[in-house]
Structure 1
Amino acid sequence: MSSTSVDHSTPPAPDAAPPAARGRRANPWLTLCAVAFGLFMVQLDGSVVAIANPEIGSDLHASTAELQWVTNSYLLALAASLILGGKLGDRFGRRTFYLVGVVGFTAASVAIGLSGSIEGVVVFRALQGLFGGLLMPNTLGLLRAVFPPRKFGMAVGIWAMVSAVSTALGPIVGGLLVEHVNWESVFYINAPIGVIALAFSAWVLPQSRNSGGRERFDIPGVVLLAAGLLCVVFGVVKGETWGWSSAGTLGAVLAGLVILVLFGWYETRVAHPLLPMRLFRSRALTVGTVITALNFFVMLGVIFFVMLYLQNVRGFTPVEAGVRTLPLSLASLVASPLGAALTQRLGARFTMPLGMVLQAAACFGMLTWQTDSSYATMWPPFIALGLGVGMVMSASSDAIVGNAPVQDGGVAGGLQATTLQIGGALGTSVLVSLISGKVGATLTGELTDAGVPAAMARGLQEAKDAVAMGVAPVSGDMPAGLRAAVVEGSGQAFLNGVHTAVVVTGVLCLIGAVVAALGLTSPGRRSADG
């Protein structure tokens, strides 16, 4: 099918539609609908897999280490390819690389279900991450290219809503599929979504790229950035199991940071850099990048231990747990366009701190949770978290992509997507480590307080890793009274860890609110070149 080209080497005038093709390919709202399909597929997949992992491990006889790589291989490939995907789209065509990403992600999803081995699952998960890295940044790049500045904020709000809702719906969809079909269906569901996304996108998306097609491609920058991100993310995801002070963790993270510093130095000395360092001259873009990382640190980290609490401590099925987190999804649905509207009217300096304060309130509200808490104590933090995450996502997306020059829209989208992935990986790993440390320190005492004999409580200390995941170390031959005591003590130790994690997270949110309030400029300001 022929495609009409849109050249956006210079930004459009405010409130003016970008000079594009006529007809359906000139309609920015059709572009938004098209990229929403791909975004929904990637974000949904990221959260449904967590529900499927136990069944994958059981069916394919995978070890815990092998099962970790089902998540880690995807995360590493995605983090390493996001900025590259945005750059390729900016130079050779955002529509082209978005469609390549959709096709590759869909095919890799089907291949995972057909693989029949844990090794195949890991390899195709890595391919999923690679194609997701081509797809995700070009969603924002396409929106930046077709929406005039005054409407871009609302488009980002809807983009953020799709992202947040699909992530929050993951546990429900995954639970239904795993319980009533099989784990393979968690990946097969991407096939119909991908086909619809491909057909609709090929029909409506305009081609947009930079006019500087003769620029030399920054291969050394690609290698340095990929190596640096791989080392950092690898160290982060392994920190939970190796220990944060271990030589392996520190070595991987420090090596990655050194390589990234070298990458930044190199990028200032080449004519056509992969990631133009001039982007960070915009204080709003820099602050937005930092807050994006913190936003997903909170969102993915908190959702991870919330699902452990609901399923392993409270005993809900995956579907029941997912239904109980619906207030989070619904709040995100409202918050993203609301956050975009507030950002347009009052500026990110208002919306971003407000969202961080709401997330802090959600975290501190979880301090009231106990092993037998009623649902009335759960849904208010879910609503506050959903509102906060949605508002910050809209405001930070506008700050990052909206403050980048149009010709760097894909790179800015890749920067945002990379930042949120690293923030999410840090959130899950760091909070699980905090919970594990507190469980280790309090488990024996909580077991004895619950009525477990002291000698047995000391012996059960060896099960602290299971308790840190919300699992009580009980066996079928335990007397009913002793079993109940072990469940009670283990649940309380887990909650001790959760309470530590939410205090730390809440404090970080308040710091983020201060950084956003002090670091952002007055409403409606844009960088001179964006």
Structure 2
Amino acid sequence: MASTPVDHSAPATAASAQPGSTRFRGNPWLALIAVSFGLLMVQLDGSVVAIANPAIGKDLGASTAELQWVTNSYLLALAASMILGGKLGDRFGRRLYYLVGVGGFVVTSVAIGLAGSVEGVILFRALQGLCGGILMPNTLGILRAVFPPGRFGLAVGIWGMVSAVSTSLGPIVGGLLVEHVDWTWVFYLNAPIGVVALLFSMAVLTESRNSGDRRRFDIAGVVLLAAGLLALVFGIVKGETWGWTSAGTLGSIALGLVLLTVFCRYETRQESPLLPMRLFRNRSLTTGAVMTLLNFFVMLGGIFFIMLYLQNVRGYTPVEAGVSTLPMSLASLVASPLGSQLTARFGPRVTIPLGLVLSAAAMFSMLTWTVDSSYATMWPPYIAMGLGVGIVLPATAAAIIGNAPVEDGGVASGLQSTMLQIGGALGTSVLVTVIAGRVGSSLFGELTGAGVPASVARGLEEAEDAVAMGIAPVSSDMPAQLKAAVVEGSGQAFVNGLHSAVTVTGILCLLGAVAAVLGIRSRAQEAEAGAEAPVVVAAH
């Protein structure tokens, strides 16, 4: 693991066994298993809900806008609470707040299934996101406290493997539950996982905190950061719906950036800041945060348009679409531990560019996809993407958390998790806009080229939003020949949009690879900085 030695404290500083601890309590590998249960629950839920949304809308009579809020309320709450969750864990107990997050996630998941109205689902989804924001950063905070530096990279690699595989399995699990049981079980599934997580975690986790910190908690910083992130992420997720140049989108994003700027200036004046600005003096940590955003821009944005292509253009069922992307999951399974080992040996300055180049290769290879591509053209990009994203994930964690002092492990983990959520929101929103723009400019030509009369094609241009989702605007009263032509032309227009999206994403990956080489310190520079760094002992 490439980590600037900003402190030389013991690997489990501030982690002390509680009275009556068993021989299992405090074991780093058991702690890794414990936090993996919580991580599995949150990551699986994040990707499984997209499959359940159509069934939720049908069962509860929800509008498209309301269904968007089923996703957005969770995303906003999650993004706004990550850094706060990490800070609470650092200050008052990482084990405590991990357990609080898991318990709250279970309760709100069951409440969503029992809500009976879309308004109730939206409310409890927001509360579920808040619990996820408390839970997530403390998973890595706990690992940072219990693993020695030499093993932390491997632990993060396994953490990344669980995260990537959980996200990839979401469509399969969700499809099976929606098709064969009921959409509510997408949420009820969290109950048994969460109960196991609670019982196992209580048995094996030791408490760790910065017990020497008794300074005033930064309430104003919490408010400023939450408001800034809410405004920023809200503008991002609504950009595709409202238009990126609309007053609402630009106003929301601008407000978020202003509030975050005020937050940063305020934090530099605080004795005990929520997010210590001194962390960003480390160039490798700052670059790692940006690379985390880019990595999940690629991962979640890519999965989003791949699922649209498979289900709406190729006609796969949700389960078939999930199974077809299994090579991506299997590649991630291998890539995350591999990435951690490569990072331990060569540093994130090497492994992050390597992963981003693989992701770029995956994107550019999708330029060969057509409306009737064989599976032989699909699985190679899946593997390259799984390897790329999987290698980058532990490397960015090493760059961020490994370069933060142990006492700021939860905050650093919260920063990584926040960048992850913002990157995912940007990936889906921006790439949908790219696809929609290309669909709008090519739809008429593709429809007429497929044999649709110009007068009919002109009228169908109004359905470009549906085509941008891969849905052909056909009706039951269309003649069979015309319907086939509309399906062919619409599918080709969507593929044009997909090609634009993968081109943009591939170029961003290559730019990111260059930025990582320039922004992350080499091993020689780290060794030099480590020799000059003062010894800092974490508070017990």
- Structure-2 separation of matches of 1:215 and 1:144: 23
Mapped to 2, the partners of 1:521 and 1:447 lie a distance apart of 52
Measure, in 1, the Cα distance between the counterparts of 2:215 and 2:306. Answer: 48
Distance 1:507 1:10 in 2: 37
C-alpha displacement of 1:17: 9.1
Superposition deviation, residue 338 in structure 1 = 0.1
RMSD: 1.5
* Cα deviation, residue 523, structure 1: 3.0
Q: Distance in 2 between matches of 1:394 and 1:30?
A: 19
Cα deviation for residue 11 of structure 1 reads 4.6
CA–CA separation in structure 2 for the residues paired with 1:204 and 1:289: 31
**What corresponds to 1:454 in structure 2?**
454
Amino acid in the other structure paired with 2:475: S
The answer on whether the counterparts of 1:305 and 1:498 sit within 8 Å (CA) in structure 2 is yes
Distance (whole Å) between structure 2 residues aligned to residue 11 and residue 157 of structure 1:
22
Alignment-derived partner of residue 180 in structure 1: 180
Q: Please give the residue correspondences for 1:132-151 in structure 2 after superposition, counting only pairs within 5 Å.
A: 132-151=132-151
Match of 2:308 in 1: 308
The corresponding residue for 2:195 is: 195
Deviation at 1:520, TM superposition (A): 1.2
Q: Which residue of 2 aligns with 1:24?
A: 24
Conservation of the 8 A alpha-carbon contact between 1:17 and 1:147: no
Deviation of 1:476 (Å): 1.3
Provide the rounded CA distance (Å) in 1 between the counterparts of 2:505 and 2:174.
Answer: 27
Is the aligned partner of 1:469 residue 2:469? yes
Asked if residue 239 in structure 1 is aligned to residue 239 in structure 2, the reply is yes
What residue in structure 1 maps to residue 428 of structure 2?
A: 428
Unaligned runs of 5+ in 2: 1-5
Give the structure 1 partner of residue 208 of structure 2. 208
**2:148 & 2:287 partners in 1: Cα distance?**
23
Percent identity between matched residues is 74
2:49 is equivalent to residue 52 of structure 1:
no
The runs of 5 or more residues in structure 1 that have no matched partner are 1-8
Listed as ranges, the matches of 1:88-487 within 5 Å are: 88-487=88-487
The answer for the alignment partner of 2:3 in structure 1 is none
- SS of the aligned residue for 2:475 comes to coil
Counterpart contact for 2:80–2:226, Cα < 8 Å: yes
What's the offset of the Cα at 1:190?
Answer: 0.3
* Preserved CA contact (<8 Å) 2:367 2:502: yes
Tell me, what secondary structure is at the counterpart of 2:473? coil
CA distance in 1, matches of 2:83, 2:73: 17
How far apart are residue 480 of structure 1 and its match?
1.4
3-state SS of the aligned residue for 2:213?
A: coil
* Counterparts of 1:186 and 1:11, CA distance in 2: 44
Tell me, what secondary structure is at the counterpart of 2:208?
strand
Counterpart residue type for residue 399 of structure 1:
A
The one-character-per-residue Cα deviations of 1:394-445 (angstroms, maximum 9, x if unpaired) are 1001111111000000000100000000010000000000101111111011
SS of the counterpart of 2:297? helix
Partner of 1:4: none
Matched with 1:6 is none
Q: Which amino acid aligns with 1:438?
A: R
The answer to whether the Cα contact below 8 Å between 2:472 and 2:486 also exists between their aligned partners in 1 is: yes
1:113 corresponds to which letter in structure 2? G
CA distance in 2, matches of 1:148, 1:42: 26
Q: Distance in 1 between matches of 2:15 and 2:294?
A: 36
Cα pair 1:17 1:148 within 8 Å, conserved: no
CA-to-partner distance for each residue in 1:36-76, whole Å, 9 max, x for gaps?
00000000000000000011011100011111000000011
The equivalent of 1:12 in structure 2 is 9
- How far is the alpha carbon of 1:254 from its aligned partner? 0.4
Aligned equivalents of 2:215 and 2:295: distance in 1? 35
Question: In the alignment, residue 12 of structure 1 is paired with which amino acid?
Answer: S
Q: Matched residues in 2 for 1:62 and 1:78: separation? A: 23
What is the one-letter code of the residue matched to 2:9? P
Cα deviation for residue 12 of structure 1 reads: 3.1
Aligned to 1:158, the other structure's residue is in SS state helix
Deviates more, 1:335-344 or 1:17-26: 17-26
Question: How far, CA to CA, are the matches of 1:115 and 1:336 in structure 2?
Answer: 37
TM-score normalized by the length of structure 2: 0.95
CA contact (8 A) 1:12 1:148 kept: no
SS of the residue corresponding to residue 61 of structure 2 reads coil
State the 1:213 CA deviation: 3.5
Shift of residue 281, structure 1, vs aligned partner: 1.2
| 1:478-497: CA deviation from partner (whole Å, max 9, x where unpaired) | 12111111000000000111
Residue type at the aligned position of 1:355: G
Using the TM superposition, give the Cα deviation of residue 185 of structure 1 relative to its aligned residue in structure 2, in angstroms: 0.6
Residue 99 of structure 2 contacts residue 198 of structure 2 at CA under 8 Å; is this kept in 1? yes
User: CA–CA distance in 1 between the matches of 2:437 and 2:412?
Assistant: 37
Contact (CA 8 Å) 2:237, 2:426: kept in 1 or not?
yes
Instruction: Tell me which amino acid in the other structure corresponds to 1:154.
Output: L
Q: Which amino acid aligns with 2:179?
A: E
> Which amino acid in 2 is paired with 1:502?
V
Secondary structure of the structure 2 residue equivalent to 1:478: coil
Change (3 A) 1:37 1:11: farther
